[in-house]
């Protein structure tokens, strides 16, 4: 199985900050990576697919990059609604595997 | 508008069974592969099972293989998860999730909570 490792596990930031979350795959997955945002009590919502393509309706403050084994999610100009937990997931092979999540909290 | 609505969750004793359902609307259900993903309380996301559009291909996570069965009814626009021999560690919110054309999880239901406890 492909292991997905996110860092950091938690992150404190202020409104207006720019933050970056990293996701590493245990083996190459090309660009078959998706980023999700999850708020408490809600289902995850896709933000970025194919490592760098913005999901329809998602603001351009979210951006993704990477290929192979190393990927990043960047969120610019943080707003209160962006404080949530973020997950990466590979869809190169089954079983589909997720990172452990990064909880983004307000400083 | 794509909608996925799960039902069937509840409290069940260890060793018991439960059947989850997911009714889809707003898209041509028979054209899409589907999945179940779960999330234990306060924990991360875990993929559980996959079924192709025609039911010809099915996959399971090792943690549920031999105990859970995924199925679908394309006439009723419904996805199912039959869960047998339930364990405490199966306690989670179970989400019905669509595989988009690009094969990533593009739409999620609101989830249904399964609690396995005596």
> Which pLDDT does position A14 carry in this prediction?
94
* pLDDT per position as a tens digit, A8-49: 999 999 999 999 999 999 999 999 999 999 999 999 999 999
* pLDDT per position as a tens digit, A69-89: 999 999 999 999 999 999 999
The angle at the Cα of A33, spanning B60 to A61, to the nearest 5 degrees, equals: 135
Mean pLDDT of A44-73: 97
> Which pLDDT does position A107 carry in this prediction?
86
Mean pLDDT of B98-104: 92
> Which pLDDT does position A12 carry in this prediction?
96
> Which pLDDT does position B117 carry in this prediction?
97
> Which pLDDT does position B98 carry in this prediction?
98
Between A and B, how many residue pairs show a Cβ–Cβ distance under 8 A?
56
- Report the candidate in A102, A75, A72, A70 with the shortest Cα–Cα distance to residue A87: A102
Identify all chain A residues contacting B105, using CB atoms and an 8 Å cutoff: 34, 36, 44, 46, 89, 91, 96
Distance in Å, alpha carbon of A97 to nearest chain B alpha carbon:
7
Distance in Å, alpha carbon of A92 to nearest chain B alpha carbon:
9
Reduced 3-state DSSP string for A10-30: EEEECCCCCEEEEEEECCCCC
Interchain contact A87–B (C-beta under 8 A): yes
> Which pLDDT does position A24 carry in this prediction?
98
Distance between CA atoms of residues B92 and B82, nearest Å: 15
Partner-chain contact B102 A50, CB within 8 Å: yes
Mean pLDDT of B65-88: 98
Place of tokens 């179970």: B94
Band of pLDDT at residue B51, cut at 50, 70 and 90 = very high
Residues 6 or more apart whose CB falls under 8 angstroms from that of B38 comprise B45, B46, B48, B90, B92, B93, B94, B95, B114
**Residue scoring higher pLDDT (B102 or B46):** B46
Specify whether the CB–CB gap between B117 and B55 falls below 8 A.
no
Mean pLDDT of B26-38: 97
Q: ω before B35 within 30° of 0 (cis)?
A: no
What are the residues facing A98 on neighbouring strands?
A89
């Amino acid at each position: 199985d492909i292991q997905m490792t996110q860092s950091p596990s938690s992150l404190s930031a202020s409104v207006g900050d720019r933050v970056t979350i990293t996701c590493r795959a245990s083996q190459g997955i090309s660009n078959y990576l998706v980023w999700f945002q999850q708020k408490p009590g809600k289902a995850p919502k896709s933000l970025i697919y194919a490592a760098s393509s913005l999901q329809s309706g998602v603001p351009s403050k979210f951006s993704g990059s990477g290929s192979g084994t190393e990927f990043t999610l960047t969120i610019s100009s943080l707003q209160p609604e962006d404080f949530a937990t973020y997950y990466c997931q590979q869809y190169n092979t089954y079983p589909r595997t997720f990172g452990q999540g990064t909880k983004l909290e307000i400083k | 508008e794509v909608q996925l609505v799960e039902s069937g969750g509840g409290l069940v004793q260890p060793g018991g069974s439960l059947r989850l359902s997911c009714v889809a609307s707003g898209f041509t259900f028979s054209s899409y592969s589907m999945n179940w993903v779960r999330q234990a309380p306060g924990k991360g996301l875990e993929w559980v099972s996959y079924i192709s559009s025609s039911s010809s291909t099915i996959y399971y996570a090792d943690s549920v293989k031999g105990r859970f069965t995924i199925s679908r009814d394309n006439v009723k626009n419904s996805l199912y998860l039959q869960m047998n021999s339930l364990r405490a560690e199966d306690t989670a919110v179970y989400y019905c999730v669509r595989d988009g054309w690009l094969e990533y999880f593009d739409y999620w239901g609101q989830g249904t909570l399964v609690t396995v406890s005596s």
